[in-house]
A and B are shown apart, each in its own frame.
Chain A
Amino acid sequence: KAGVTQTPRYLIKTRGQQVTLSCSPISGHRSVSWYQQTPGQGLQFLFEYFSETQRNKGNFPGRFSGRQFSNSRSEMNVSTLELGDSALYLCASKETSGTDTQYFGPGTRLTVL
């Protein structure tokens, strides 16, 4: 099976802009989670979607949002970008919403100038 894919791999934006990142999970996986990875904070959970419903949400401001489509593909959106949003955004998928093995994509490197 193909792994988790994320597009684009790299993005450069300026403060105040908005950005949309895309994630295609492994075929058959219905749960998609998003994480922000930074050198200082490590891996921080953003949100999880399962069957198009948000199941869990991390402690991030409302500028961060996401959605999942009927084919399990997911997008996350960040509005009004701030310099501190520069990070690697990782998507991970698993078959169910329980404690299954979570498979990560390569990430999208977002740089905010």
Chain B
Amino acid sequence: QQQVKQSPQSLIVQKGGISIINCAYENTAFDYFPWYQQFPGKGPALLIAIRPDVSEKKEGRFTISFNKSAKQFSLHIMDSQPGDSATYFCAASSGNTPLVFGKGTRLSVIA
């Protein structure tokens, strides 16, 4: 049973455009929602994370939007750059439970 559904699987965005990746979860006990970025040959690296007490969190060009009632959260990358080309994973967890990851989105930013 996949507890976190991520879409799209792949995304191509023009340089300077906005990249949007969406995730939906089922377990209402989840209270921690991180996004990870992974480059080829590297392990995932934490990009930004949010907890359900806020609806939005922004760090530089990266913003998480969180909709608790819809059980959805999304990552927005503003002014997308070729260096942002990577695979992005959303995840969720609660308390001492392990992170449950979405299947990933491969982002390609083209000039």
What is A's interface to B at a CB cutoff of 8 Å?
4, 33, 35, 42-45, 48, 55-56, 58, 90, 92, 97-99, 101-107
By a CB distance below 8 angstroms, the chain B residues around A90 are 43-44
Say yes or no: B98 contacts A43, CB within 8 Å.
no
- Dominant secondary structure of chain B at its interface with chain A: loop
What is B's interface to A at a CB cutoff of 8 Å?
31-32, 34, 36, 41-46, 49, 89, 93-104
Using A99-B32, A99-B93, A99-B94 as known contacts, say yes or no to A45 and B43 having CB atoms under 8 A apart. Answer: no
Say yes or no: B98 contacts A33, CB within 8 Å.
yes
Say yes or no: A103 contacts B46, CB within 8 Å.
yes
Query: A106 contacts which of B34, B43, B97, B98 (Cβ < 8 Å)?
Result: B43
Using A4-B43, A103-B46, A106-B41 as known contacts, say yes or no to A97 and B104 having CB atoms under 8 A apart. Answer: no
By a CB distance below 8 angstroms, the chain B residues around A45 are 98-100
Query: A104 contacts which of B32, B45, B49, B96 (Cβ < 8 Å)?
Result: B45
Say yes or no: B95 contacts A48, CB within 8 Å.
no
Using A42-B89, A43-B89 as known contacts, say yes or no to A106 and B42 having CB atoms under 8 A apart. Answer: yes
A-B contact pairs, 23 of them (CB 8 A): A33-B99, A42-B101, A42-B103, A44-B101, A45-B98, A45-B99, A48-B98, A55-B96, A56-B96, A56-B98, A58-B98, A90-B43, A90-B44, A97-B96, A98-B95, A98-B96, A99-B32, A101-B34, A102-B34, A102-B99, A103-B45, A104-B44, A107-B42
Could you say which of A45, A92, A99 has the most chain B C-beta atoms within 10 Å of its C-beta?
A99
